[in-house]
Structure 1
Amino acid sequence: GSGAMGPGPPPPAPRAPPPAQLMLLLLLLALEARGGCAAPAPRAEDLSLGVEWLSRFGYLPRSDPTTGQLQTQEELSKAITAMQQFGGLEATGVLDEATLALMKTPRCSLPDLPATAAVRQRRQAPTPTKWNKRNLSWRGCDVPSDSALGRDTVRLMYYALKFWSDIAPLNFHEAGSAADIQIDFSRADHDDGYPLSTFPAHRAHAFLPCDHSRGDAHFDDDEPHCPRPPDAHGMDLFAVAVHEFGHAIGLSHVGAAQSIMRPYYQGPVGDPLRYGLPYEDRVRVWQLYGVRESVSPTGPPEPDSPPPLPDPPDNRSSAPHPRWSPHRCTS
């Protein structure tokens, strides 16, 4: 029955959801409003991974946990569009199936856009950096001796470097101690700000000549890299190494589908002894170092313009990431 009890204390105020949940709620509501029945809204876990991916690779500044300031729907949509354009996808501005699939593709763990990028013209890539010398030493450290690669590992590293020095006036020589390019096989988070073996399958990275760890290349020791010819289940270590050594001599990511410097793993490239660098990659390294005397710079006509490097994100709501703070050149 009805008792004589008073109204009692007011219920406690509901706790505000954390910024990540607020961001996802904002995006879900916006997508629902925009999408209607045209396409199903992405799952919450896909949205979470998408936002993390866009932040990790430079398309979206991180939310500031100290102020609770979040990205707007316009910023999120702009970041998704930039990623789609750079990845060669239809620019829908929403996390559709094709976009999520590309986000889950194995790739290099360096950002496509430096987190500290200054204002940059839309069609202009980051100002290149290069070594101020032509004789560079390299050393393989912590090369796995018990993997399927065995003693082929150092040989593959040699050939991956040689393809760059064959076309540009660079000379690589193996060193037994400190070297310009240090090659390591590492596992997971190895304290350089770019963890391996994490979503979305980061396989390797190397640092540009202007970085604090300039020229160093790190490969995922947990990944089943394979010698030539690679099998159906392993990564082609040679293809990954050619890409990473491109970073080590100063090349950044590009969106061109045929470039070895595209950030996504594109499968085996075939026999290292018969591999040829795509013409666009040759031109880019020639712009840095010139042409080796024994090489003719002629080649096929320049391909269609690759997808433009998108504008760096507006950093008004970003906060420095405590772990992702290696110095990266922006000039």
Structure 2
Amino acid sequence: LLVSQDWLTKFGYLPPPDPVTGQLQTQEELTKAITAMQRFGGLEATGVLDEATLELMKTPRCSLPDLAATETRRKRFAQAVTKWSKRNLSWRVRTFPKESHLGHDTVRALMYYALKVWSDITPLNFHEVAGNNADIQIDFSKTDHNDGYPFDGPGGTVAHAFFPGDHHTAGDTHFDDDEYWTFRSSDAHGMDLFAVAVHEFGHAIGLTHISAIESIMRPYYQGPVGDPLKYDLPYEDKVRIWQLYGVRESVSPTAKPEVSKTDDHPVLPELPENRSTVP
């Protein structure tokens, strides 16, 4: 039960224990928190830690909370809507996965295409830079990496990103280097790096988690999303990002993405569609 309480606190469903009295949550607060988590996760809202609920709690996911302000917290915890005030944003992979079968160029190409998903439909432009001044610094880190969101080994929390704002970590995106990152793999064991990156870059430009089952901004890992060059954002996510930044001039709201021409784009290595990438 304590593990579940920690989980509910970590993801915004339950306020932390009172630091003065050490008072833990009442049964009523706990039931309310479980119900909110079940609703957000698309489960039947029973308020009871049943098997389906415990199973969802074990699903790999993003480290950011789902509810930024529970009703019992004071308003200062509320997540204000944040967005970038500029339209040209720089990015850089500062640290790469240490022991990965994905080469540096593949990782960079996947980041490029995951950002392109968002810039294709908004007025935002992303460009890769060298040096330490990138707006979006990308790192692969393990366990505690000094940002308040420690990773936890394979599974559990797999990545997180910081919302836009004035703080120096704004836009920064971190992936857990203890995950087995994959690309174009049908293998159930790995984490599809492109799918997770699209989600995290959604945070880096201002989107919070939502409960919609189809959304890429749902907090739980949903498996691979197919070919990065042909990926089309769910309509729900398009509408939310348009509310923040407006529509890119060349975009028809219902059009499918054009398959990228590769002249000026990084090339992704071909992998046989059905071959496992696990050695």
Compute the TM-score of the two structures, normalised by the length of structure 1.
0.72
SS of the counterpart of 2:18? coil
Alignment partner of 1:241 is 2:197: yes
Alignment partner of 1:266 is 2:222: yes
Alignment partner of 1:191 is 2:146: yes
Amino acid at match of 1:135: N
Q: 1:67-115, CA deviations, whole angstroms, 9 ceiling, x for partnerless residues?
A: 1322111111100100000110101011111110000000000111225
Equivalences for 1:93-108 in 2 at 5 Å?
93-108=47-62
What is the rounded CA distance, in whole Å, between the counterparts of 1:89 and 1:241 in structure 2?
25
Equivalent residues of 2:69, 2:79 under 8 A apart: no
Distance 1:118 1:297, change over 3 A: farther
Q: 1:50-73, CA deviations, whole angstroms, 9 ceiling, x for partnerless residues?
A: 101000011101112531322111
Q: What is the CA RMSD across the aligned residues, in angstroms?
A: 2.1
Alignment partner of 1:222 is 2:178: yes
Equivalent residues of 2:11, 2:66 under 8 A apart: yes
Equivalent residues of 1:229, 1:271 under 8 A apart: no
Tell me how many residue pairs correspond in the alignment.
250
Provide structure 1 residue ranges, at least 5 long, that are not aligned to the other structure: 1-46, 301-331
Equivalences for 1:1-331 in 2 at 5 Å?
47-114=1-68, 127-144=80-97, 146-150=99-103, 151-177=105-131, 178-197=133-152, 201-210=156-165, 212=167, 213-298=169-254
Q: 283-292 or 110-119: which moved more?
A: 110-119
Distance 1:78 1:187, change over 3 A: same
Equivalent residues of 2:59, 2:156 under 8 A apart: yes
Q: 68-77 or 90-99: which moved more?
A: 68-77
Q: 1:139-186, CA deviations, whole angstroms, 9 ceiling, x for partnerless residues?
A: 101113641111300000000000100000000000101100000000
What is the rounded CA distance, in whole Å, between the counterparts of 2:140 and 2:206 in structure 1?
21
SS of the counterpart of 2:6? helix
SS of the counterpart of 2:229? helix
Distance 1:235 1:139, change over 3 A: same
Poorly superposed stretches of 4+, deviation over 6 Å? none
**What's 2:263 paired with?**
none
Equivalent residues of 2:11, 2:64 under 8 A apart: yes
SS of the counterpart of 1:79? helix
Q: 1:253-300, CA deviations, whole angstroms, 9 ceiling, x for partnerless residues?
A: 000000000000000001111110000000000000000011012479
What is the rounded CA distance, in whole Å, between the counterparts of 2:34 and 2:205 in structure 1?
29
What is the rounded CA distance, in whole Å, between the counterparts of 2:190 and 2:166 in structure 1?
30
TM-superposed CA distance for 1:231, in Å, is: 2.6
- Asked which structure has the greater CA Rg, the reply is 1
Identical-pair percentage: 71
Equivalent residues of 2:119, 2:125 under 8 A apart: yes
SS of the counterpart of 1:136? strand
SS of the counterpart of 1:274? coil
SS of the counterpart of 1:273? coil
Equivalent residues of 2:59, 2:155 under 8 A apart: yes
Provide structure 2 residue ranges, at least 5 long, that are not aligned to the other structure: 257-279
What is the rounded CA distance, in whole Å, between the counterparts of 2:108 and 2:230 in structure 1?
18
Distance 1:261 1:234, change over 3 A: same
**Structure with more relative contact order (C-alpha pairs < 8 Å, separation 6 or more):** 1
